[in-house]
Amino acid sequence: MILRIRKTGHMDYFLRFLIFFAIICSSNLGYAASLSSIRQADKLYKEGEYEKAVKEYNNILSANGDSANINFGKGCAEYKYGEYKKAQSSFVKALASEDKPAEAAANYNLGNSKYKLGKQKEEENDVSQAINLFKSALAYYKRAMELDANDKDARFNYEFINKELERLKKKQQNQQSQSQSQDQKDQKKDQQNQSSSSGTSGKQDQKQEEQEKQRQQSENEGQQEQEKQNAREKEKQQDENQKQNQPQESKEGGQEQGRGKEEKEKQEAGEEEQSNEKRDAREKEGNGSQGEPLKEMSKEEAEMLLEGLRQEEVRGELRDKAEKSSSGKPLKDW
């Protein structure tokens, strides 16, 4: 729907009022000049030269001061030019008119301006602000109908924007529902991300713990291997030391064995010498007995013979022990 701006009829009334005022004040050339400017501004408006008409109205206001009627004309030109905020400001100033038809027209055009601003906010997706502007438009249409009960255009616009207001309210509810739903989705997603992040962090901690265990295990294995290596080296060193000591022990054992052999040889030589002496003695005795008759051995000689036999027996036992001792393993230096 295209809302109609109130200009025709009312503007003719304003022009008639201004012309009447100019005739009364004909002695004042400034007002005569203003009347000419008003006609020029109205002409530009009708020709669609809205920007030029706005400039002409501003010139009139600058020359003659503020005026509700001139602000009304200026607001109409600004509305047509698409400057709805400026038109709204001009129509508010036009409300100061003491003429009810002029005030009603200003309220009607304010309702239109509010509606246009509300549509702009809706296009900007600011539904809440659009709703407020539509409500304000309804208030101005209602005031226009109070001033002019026969204003059918104001009634039609009121009903139309009231429906638009209900549409916007439903749109706002849908947006709020969607926003809440989206917020819930975002919240759920954040929770999932946090859970996933926590799970990932837990996995990372577990992985780090496993890596630390592996590192400690590797260090322990390395330490055990080093201890084994040290033990092998120590054992090897002991073996080498033992091998170095074995020839010396054998040498000492050989020296000890050599000394035993020398003692044995000396003992055997002494025994052999004693045996030879005894043999010589017996031979002498034998030789003597051939020429002379055998004499009975005295007690002392018998004891000496027995003692010699016992010594020979003892020396034999000592010799056997010495042989057994020399045939054993070499002695070790403990």
Residue ranges per structural domain of the chain: 7-96, 99-196
For the ranges 128-132, 139-143, 247-251, 282-286, the lowest mean pLDDT is seen at: 247-251
- Tell me how far apart the alpha carbons of residues 90 and 85 are, in angstroms, rounded to a whole number: 9
Please, what CATH class does the domain formed by 99-196 belong to?
Answer: mainly alpha
Please determine whether the domains at 7-96 and 99-196 fall in the same fold group of CATH: no
User: Which pLDDT tens digit goes with each residue over 16-52?
Assistant: 444 444 333 333 434 455 788 899 999 999 999 999 9
- Tell me how far apart the alpha carbons of residues 150 and 161 are, in angstroms, rounded to a whole number: 19
User: Which pLDDT tens digit goes with each residue over 74-106?
Assistant: 999 999 999 999 999 999 999 998 889 999 999
User: Which pLDDT tens digit goes with each residue over 242-298?
Assistant: 777 654 444 444 555 556 666 667 776 666 677 666 666 665 555 544 444 445 667
Would you say 120 and 84 are in contact if contact means Cβ atoms under 8 Å apart? yes
Average pLDDT, the chain: 78
- Tell me how far apart the alpha carbons of residues 87 and 110 are, in angstroms, rounded to a whole number: 8
Q: What is the pLDDT of residue 254?
A: 53
**Tokens standing for 150?**
């026969």
What CATH topology corresponds to 7-96? 1.25.40
